[in-house]
Amino acid sequence: MPDRLADIALPVPLPDPLTYEIPAAWEPQAREGVRARVLMGRRRLTGLIVRVHDERREGIALRPLQEILDREPVLTPDLLDLARFTAEYYMAPLGEVVRTMLPADLPPWGDRKVWLTNAGALALPRDVDESAVIDALREGGRMTVAELQSRTGGLSDLDAVLATLSESGRIGSEEHRARSARYVNAVELAPGDLDAHLAAAGRSAAGKEVIQYLSAVGRPATTAEITDKIGCTPAVVRRLVSLGVLRQFTQVERLSLDRHMLGAPGKPPEIQLRPDQAHALGFLTGALDRRDFSALLLQGMTGSGKTEVYLRAAEEALARGRSTILLVPEIALVPALARSVERRFGENLAILHSGMGSGERHQEWERVRRGEARVVLGPRSALFAPVADLGLIVVDEEQDSSYKQELSPRYNARDLALVRARDAGAAALLVSATPSLESRWNAERGKLELLKLTERAGQGSLPEGILVDLREEGLSRRPGEVHFSERLQLEIRQALADGDQVILLRNRRGYAPMLLCRACGEDMRCPDCGLPRTYHRRDRRLVCHYCGSMIPAPQVCPNCKEDALEAIGAGTERVEETFKELFPGVAVDVLDRDTARRPGGPAAVLERFDRGEVAVLIGTQMVSKGHHFPNVALTAVLAADAYLSFPDFRAVERTYNLLVQVAGRAGRGERPGRVVIQTYHPDHYAIQAALRQDDEGFAREELRFRRVFHYPPYTRMVQLLVRDKNRDRAWAEISKLAAGLAEHPFARSVRLSGPAPAPLERLRGEWRFQFLLRSADGKGLHRMLREVLPRNPGFDLVIDVDPQQLL
């Protein structure tokens, strides 16, 4: 009976890993961090071995694991530790955390196929191990290493045996690769010295150049690369191969990352850092030299040269042989930054995100793992890149709520970046024009070292802010309404007359947030979510923006059959329509999530705007992030109140951030820009502070608000949410939980709110009730929850630690 056991974390909502027996054949490969396939009930699942031990518990029959997929750990010990921390802190199953950390369809290394060559079939085996392998292959033909492992009954060092057999040409092997991989011819210099090779090339000048080139790059190169670089024909390469100067082999084609980058390749700009930038960089290099953890907050307005500072810091890390992870909030922001990174780091850049093909993603992940790429760029999941010797993690736009994953595990990559950096003795650099209140407070408490950039790079000067008080426009006040005030129209005309570009912000996509029957009041709510569906006129559809369900837009009211349907309020589509009425003939485009589904997607829209083919860009906040448009002289927020009135304690913070970011869009070029903000609340401190660029004033007011009402950062917050199709059952479960928590001795140090309906009481056909907990003692709160919450609730319970969106 086998006595070794493996605890395997499985991607299922179970609190703990499950224990399986390790069959003898798999023993040599069973290690922490490798993946294994197991049966759970009748389901075949892939999980990760998180512990190997022999602590068999009496009377419990265990199933054997089916097979082990990897020959080397896919999660290195440091990442496994981070996984454990994440599972613990966010109260999520370890298996779900592990699944999030690994590329979704990582190929099993055990799927490498091997076969016996003719030479191998004829040659005598040199020892018993070889003989076992050769026998198995003779019998079974071509097979995966995993199969071979089990057929040979678990050789202690199958890898070594395969390596010798393969070196002597007795077996052939083929990496299992993603479907999109292609094989190409590559050549390398044969062993021997350069002069001899050059002599062998004879009088062929092109041949000599090829040899010089290969010697200079010091690595194999594809024939295509050589003919491209030297400008010779493939025949030159073939001749050198036949002369024995070059050796030819096939290699997996390196997929180009070009389509994930915006702009042309080239040299990085040569920039003399300003003193404030140099100071910040000095701080970072100091941290890299000390090799211990440091946490920094780099604050500076858009265009103040933050990117320049962190890319330099990444160069410094690389010069010390250390890796950098660069995080951006959204995939959409990768292409623009990727090019600047590529210009500096070339092949050292790896891009990792879910918008890539699986072949590309594996390639990048492998290059990172092998230490070939040391600068990794991507959205939050890139935090888990298996980099060698981590030196620096940069979290750009650290305040962005996209760093929080809204599915289990509900982690925040910004916060975990600090944890990973701490454990690796690396520097964590949070970057923002408008840091989160959490980070501002951490800087005040000395937990983050604050580095401020005070000047604006280049010639761009700060835009002028113009406030339009919608109350004075004498307009009826209807929710979601969007107006082009006289002042705004004037500013747009002026900008267009000057040949400048304009950005208009409206944070709702579609035509109108609601299609209402004026006769009977029918508003065509989504039956599953209980909220009005958004009217998309172009597609003639009503779409629920919460669950995505859609129906054709009716011509007459489906309820009373009257021809009295009216679109209420305006989304980007309607803003575009109104704009075209007001400014006929002006080229205008829209950027929002609907654009993402159209051919060319956001990249095409951005490029057209960048090239100046389009004068005016209307968009949701997708427009406000990251992009650099030197010819934009005017930006406008059409309805600032839409953001302010959102029922979330971060609504004010988000409004302020948005306004500041939007202001940063205007006037990045040579001319000063203008920002128009239309609002019904012109005196609100967030709007005032954004207009006057009084960042400290905003922080002071907002921190006061948070302190008075016991919101983060002064407290840690946990949201418990119960979801159920049955309303009564959901209510009963959340009430039981709430009562249990209220009885706990620690409850005196916790603010308990609820149970109550969640802001979205119905979503996708489920009823949702929540219970909020806040405490200044985060550890105590965690302990209490661990003691009171059921380990296997038996109902749908969402635990959201440090929630970002309270929906």
- Least distance (Å) between residue 10 CB and Zn ion: 31
The stretch among 194-202, 301-309, 616-624, 637-645 that binds ligand ADP (CB under 6 A) is 301-309
Largest Cα separation within the chain, whole Å, is: 96
Residue 430's DSSP bridge partners are 297, 395
Report the relative pairing of strands 766-775 and 349-351 from DSSP bridges. Answer: unpaired
Task: Compare residues 305 and 619 and give the one whose CB is closer to ligand ADP.
Answer: 305
Q: How far apart are the first and last CA of the chain?
A: 52
275 binds ligand ADP (CB under 6 A): no
- Among 103, 305, 379, 667, the residue binding ligand ADP under the rule CB under 6 A is 305
The stretch among 224-232, 298-306, 400-408, 612-620 that binds ligand ADP (CB under 6 A) is 298-306
Query: Is-contact 785 765, C-beta < 8 A?
Result: no
Binding partner selected for residue 526 from Zn ion, ligand ADP, none, CB under the kind-specific 5 to 8 Å limit? Zn ion
- Closest by Cα among 315, 311, 289 to 298: 311
524 binds Zn ion (CB under 5 A): no
Task: Compare residues 149 and 302 and give the one whose CB is closer to ligand ADP.
Answer: 302
Q: What angle is formed at CA 570 by the lines to CA 564 and CA 571, rounded to 5 degrees?
A: 125
CA dist 663 and 508 (Å) reads 19
Binding partner selected for residue 805 from ligand ADP, Zn ion, none, CB under the kind-specific 5 to 8 Å limit? none
528 binds Zn ion (CB under 5 A): yes
Task: Compare residues 435 and 532 and give the one whose CB is closer to Zn ion.
Answer: 532
779 Cβ contact list (under 8 Å, min separation 6): none
807 binds Zn ion (CB under 5 A): no
Task: Compare residues 311 and 718 and give the one whose CB is closer to ligand ADP.
Answer: 311
Integer Rg of the chain from CA: 30
Neighbours of 181 (CB within 10 A): 18
Task: Compare residues 306 and 440 and give the one whose CB is closer to ligand ADP.
Answer: 306
The stretch among 268-276, 314-322, 479-487, 641-649 that binds ligand ADP (CB under 6 A) is 268-276
CA dist 299 and 302 (Å) reads 9
| Tokens at 345, concatenated | 């780091």
306 binds ligand ADP (CB under 6 A): yes
526 binds Zn ion (CB under 5 A): yes
- Among 67, 96, 253, 308, the residue binding ligand ADP under the rule CB under 6 A is 308
269 binds ligand ADP (CB under 6 A): yes
- 3-class state of residue 613 by DSSP: coil
Task: Compare residues 534 and 661 and give the one whose CB is closer to ligand ADP.
Answer: 661
- Among 19, 302, 324, 572, the residue binding ligand ADP under the rule CB under 6 A is 302
Residues 434-473 touching ligand ADP, rule: CB under 6 A, are 457-458
Query: Is-contact 716 775, C-beta < 8 A?
Result: yes
Task: Compare residues 546 and 583 and give the one whose CB is closer to Zn ion.
Answer: 546
Task: Compare residues 263 and 530 and give the one whose CB is closer to ligand ADP.
Answer: 263
Binding partner selected for residue 547 from ligand ADP, Zn ion, none, CB under the kind-specific 5 to 8 Å limit? Zn ion
271 binds ligand ADP (CB under 6 A): yes
- Least distance (Å) between residue 533 CB and Zn ion: 7
- Does residue 602 come out as left (phi exceeding 0), alpha (psi in the -120 to 50 range) or beta? alpha
Binding partner selected for residue 90 from Zn ion, ligand ADP, none, CB under the kind-specific 5 to 8 Å limit? none
Task: Compare residues 380 and 665 and give the one whose CB is closer to ligand ADP.
Answer: 665
The stretch among 39-47, 265-273, 528-536, 593-601 that binds ligand ADP (CB under 6 A) is 265-273
Report the relative pairing of strands 514-517 and 751-763 from DSSP bridges. Answer: unpaired
CA dist 646 and 326 (Å) reads 31
- Least distance (Å) between residue 500 CB and ligand ADP: 19
Query: Is-contact 524 532, C-beta < 8 A?
Result: yes
627 binds ligand ADP (CB under 6 A): no
Residue 617's DSSP bridge partners are 503, 589
Task: Compare residues 274 and 380 and give the one whose CB is closer to ligand ADP.
Answer: 274
Binding partner selected for residue 306 from ligand ADP, Zn ion, none, CB under the kind-specific 5 to 8 Å limit? ligand ADP
- Among 190, 224, 273, 806, the residue binding ligand ADP under the rule CB under 6 A is 273
The stretch among 197-205, 287-295, 304-312, 322-330 that binds ligand ADP (CB under 6 A) is 304-312
* Amino acid identity for residue 607 in this structure: E
**Strands (DSSP E) along 420-540, which ranges?**
427-432, 449-452, 464-469, 501-505, 514-517, 534-536
* Amino acid identity for residue 564 in this structure: A
Site string for ligand ADP, 276-295 (x = CB under 6 A): -x------------------
Alpha helix ranges (H) inside 31-157: 77-89, 94-101, 118-122, 128-140, 145-151
CA dist 500 and 274 (Å) reads 29
Three-class DSSP labels, 289-301: HHCCCEEEEEECC
| Tokens at 546, concatenated | 């919460």
- Least distance (Å) between residue 433 CB and ligand ADP: 7
The stretch among 273-281, 642-650, 700-708, 785-793 that binds ligand ADP (CB under 6 A) is 273-281
- Among 307, 501, 595, 775, the residue binding ligand ADP under the rule CB under 6 A is 307
The DSSP output letter for 311 is H
| Tokens at 717, concatenated | 């917050």
CA dist 794 and 790 (Å) reads 9
Applying CB under 6 A, the site for ligand ADP has a residue count of 16
- Among 529, 622, 633, 773, the residue binding Zn ion under the rule CB under 5 A is 529
Task: Compare residues 443 and 575 and give the one whose CB is closer to ligand ADP.
Answer: 443
- Least distance (Å) between residue 456 CB and ligand ADP: 8
- Least distance (Å) between residue 312 CB and ligand ADP: 10
Q: What is the 3-state composition of the chain as percent helix, strand, coil, each rounded to the nearest 5?
A: 40, 20, 40
CA dist 278 and 406 (Å) reads 37
Binding partner selected for residue 33 from Zn ion, ligand ADP, none, CB under the kind-specific 5 to 8 Å limit? none
Alpha helix ranges (H) inside 611-726: 641-644, 651-665, 685-692, 695-708
The DSSP output letter for 470 is G
- Least distance (Å) between residue 112 CB and ligand ADP: 44
Query: Is-contact 294 325, C-beta < 8 A?
Result: no
- Does residue 583 come out as left (phi exceeding 0), alpha (psi in the -120 to 50 range) or beta? beta
Binding partner selected for residue 582 from Zn ion, ligand ADP, none, CB under the kind-specific 5 to 8 Å limit? none
274 binds ligand ADP (CB under 6 A): yes
Residue 350's DSSP bridge partners are 376
φ, ψ at 226 (rounded to 5°): -65, -50
- Least distance (Å) between residue 462 CB and ligand ADP: 13
Residues 56-115 touching ligand ADP, rule: CB under 6 A, are none
Q: Is the peptide bond before 2 cis (omega within 30 degrees of 0)?
A: no
CA dist 312 and 314 (Å) reads 5
Write out the H or E segment, with its range, that includes residue 334: helix 334-345
Task: Compare residues 46 and 304 and give the one whose CB is closer to ligand ADP.
Answer: 304
Residue indicated by tokens 């209140």: 437
The stretch among 177-185, 188-196, 302-310, 378-386 that binds ligand ADP (CB under 6 A) is 302-310
Binding partner selected for residue 458 from ligand ADP, Zn ion, none, CB under the kind-specific 5 to 8 Å limit? ligand ADP
724 binds ligand ADP (CB under 6 A): no
Applying CB under 5 A, the site for Zn ion has a residue count of 7
Residues 532-571 touching Zn ion, rule: CB under 5 A, are 544, 546-547, 549
CA dist 713 and 440 (Å) reads 9
- Least distance (Å) between residue 431 CB and ligand ADP: 7
> Residues interacting with Zn ion, by CB under 5 A?
526, 528-529, 544, 546-547, 549
| Interface with ligand ADP (CB under 6 A) | 269, 271-274, 277, 300, 302-308, 457-458
